[in-house]
Amino acid sequence: MKKKIAILLVLLMALVIPVNAKSMDAFKSGEIVKLEEELDSTTFAAGRKVDIKSKIKGIIFAAGETLKIAGENDYSFVAGKDIAVDEIVTKDAFIAGQDITISNSTIRDLYVAGAIITIDSDISRNVFVAGDTVAIKGKINGDVNLACDNITIEEGTEITGTLRVPEDATLKDNGAKINEVIKYKSKEVTINKETEIVTDIMSNLTACLAMMLLGFIGLFLFKGFFKKVDEFEKSPAFLTKYSIFGLIELFAIPVCATIGLLISIMALMIPFPIVILSLILYGVMIYLSAIPTAYYLGNWFLKDKVKNEYGIMALTILALYVGRMIPVIGGLIGLITVCFGLAIYVKALIPTKNTK
């Protein structure tokens, strides 16, 4: 569990980069983002400091280093370092971070992953928590599933369902009213599956929000590159052709780099740093492959419906990450995303001659 939380927190570091991108009604980004007005649509907010007090008629996606979330929305997806959720009204909340406090809120189902977690709210149904230390206070009208090392159930807490805790965890029950307590072994398969599902959701959410933020930065800094991507032919034939090119490059680049590395060591014909840099660039292109793929597909299918390029980027990246979670099909979507994006990057690095 500690390893999973560590990986989650490493992913969150990608979200704390300050951004100076343009601000739109549904897509807010900057060093400091503050929302107080009522919003009529699903909203994306990303920055170093994010403060939301809005009534949002849709879903809120919020990412940053320090977040304060209040107000009302349909569903809440929040990722960051220090997160304070206070007086929020939402159906389901998915929260990932390091230090998380949830207080005075009305939530149906709560999913949380973090290091230090404090829950002081009434939950209408179930709670799922993965982390190191958790303290719970309030009325939980369902089950509480915990995968934590240190657990405190505060006085006055009422859990109408079942409290599930690891057998080797430290549990402090300060006079809470609990219907049933079940202690499970950490390696128990059924519990692990529940925990892995929650962790996978949090990890995918964090990666998705990080990629959106990096996509916004790319749109702001590299307008020429994205203009070229927008000019590409929008057809299944083009998508298939470049996906095949990318698949070849996916295997060819590391092979060529390895050969170059051997030559540089044995014959000193190629400068050693160039080979290393090429491998680093190759890894970066694979990691960021979703950005050009999302922009291409978004401009193909959404350009007439969504007038803002930041909105196109965010919605298509979200669709790609959701698609990746679908069994079997998700693997194919992920492969096409990587191959097509890699081919676009290579094309940008090695432009073809103008034959006009």
Determine contact, residues 295/310, Cβ cutoff 8 Å. no
Token pair of 221 as six digits: 């800094």
Quote the CA–CA distance of 47 and 80 in Å, as a whole number.
10
| 99 burial type by CB count under 10 A (0-12 exposed, 13-18 middle, 19+ buried) | middle
Quote the CA–CA distance of 108 and 93 in Å, as a whole number.
8
Quote the CA–CA distance of 9 and 114 in Å, as a whole number.
8
Backbone φ and ψ of 42, nearest 5°: -55, 135
Q: Which residues sit opposite 66 in a β-bridge?
A: 49, 82
One digit per residue, the tens of pLDDT, for the chain of length 356 reads 443 433 333 333 333 333 333 334 567 776 788 999 888 888 878 777 889 999 998 888 887 788 999 999 998 888 878 999 999 999 989 888 889 999 999 999 998 888 899 999 999 999 999 888 999 999 999 999 998 899 999 999 999 999 999 988 999 987 889 999 998 876 544 445 555 556 666 677 778 888 888 888 888 888 889 988 988 999 999 999 999 998 998 888 888 777 766 666 665 555 556 666 777 888 888 989 999 999 999 889 888 777 778 888 888 888 888 888 777 788 888 899 999 999 999 888 775 555 44
| Helix, coil or strand: residue 171 | strand
Find all residues with CB under 8 Å of 204, minimum gap 6, and list them: 321, 324, 325
